[in-house]
Amino acid sequence: MMSSASSPPLLPVSNPTPAASPPSSAAADPNSIPAVRLFLSSLSDSIRRSLSDRRPWPELLDRSAFSRPESLADATSRLRKNLAYFRVNYVAFLAVALAVSLLAHPVSLLVLLTLLAAWCFLYLLRPSESSLVLFGRAFSDRETLGGLVLVSLLVVFLTSVGSLIISALTVGAVIVCAHGAFRMPEDLFLDEPEAAGGATAGLLSFLGGAGTTGALRI
């Protein structure tokens, strides 16, 4: 009797509930993906779709297809047909010419990259439902766009970036026009009505869905 009275009471035993496992990466919220990754992925897909419509480069550089145009009207007609057929190739050539020119001037390249980063993070990647807040003041979309446009114009026209871009595009455009005027388009066949400009429009289609969630504050 005495020994049973001095024994400690028995505690009920219960099985602990296992903690819920964290959701796998496959079931993660898509909104948690960084906005920059979505932006770059959309840009890469748009460029890849546009470049898929390019013509074969050997066809562009076929030496046997070049001849001197008989008149200015003949040169204009050739240029119009070649622009419609080699549109993507010409745009790619202009982009390469601009890239080479910027790589040869690293300071201008750094200024341009800074300007593009400002556009991406302050406007393109900013959620449409939230306003930009700088030093405690909220700016509307119109004010943000106006400020970025003003800064872009000042940077482009008051520095060497503008002259560099214009000179590179001018040289590239002269080469494109010379190629289009001297290449005979008789062997070219436009099998799609893409001459209206749909091929290069895909390069900017990534701008539509570049929004993120959450406010941007500095």
**What is the pLDDT, as a whole number, of residue 5?**
52
CB-based burial of residue 40 (10 Å sphere; 0-12 exposed, 13-18 middle, 19+ buried)? middle
Q: What is the pLDDT of residue 16?
A: 52
Give the per-residue pLDDT at 198: 47
Write down how long the chain is: 218
| pTM metric for this prediction | 0.62
The three-state secondary structure class of 126 is coil
Structural domains of the chain, count: 1
Give the per-residue pLDDT at 26: 40
Position 87 in a domain: yes
Q: Is residue 177 part of a domain?
A: yes
Q: Is residue 71 part of a domain?
A: yes
Query: Which residues, in sequence order, are bridge partners of residue 217?
Result: 133
**Cβ atoms < 10 Å from Cβ of 172:** 20
Asked if the structure places residue 122 within a domain, the reply is yes
- 99-132 tens-digit pLDDT: 999 999 999 889 888 988 888 888 777 766 667 7
Q: How many C-beta neighbours within 10 Å does residue 56 have? A: 9
Assess if residue 203 is contained within a domain: no
Sign of CA dihedral 117, 119, 120, 125: positive
> What is the H or E stretch that residue 138 is in?
strand 137-139
Q: Which phi and psi (to 5°) does residue 66 adopt?
A: -100, 140
Q: What range does the domain containing 128 cover?
A: 58-185
Determine the Cα–Cα distance for residues 147 and 139; give it in Å rounded to an integer: 10
Instruction: Give pLDDT, residue 118.
Output: 86
Q: Tell me, what's the pLDDT at 143?
A: 83
pLDDT profile of the chain (218 residues), mean per 10? 53 51 43 57 69 79 90 93 91 92 91 87 72 74 86 86 91 94 79 46 45 43
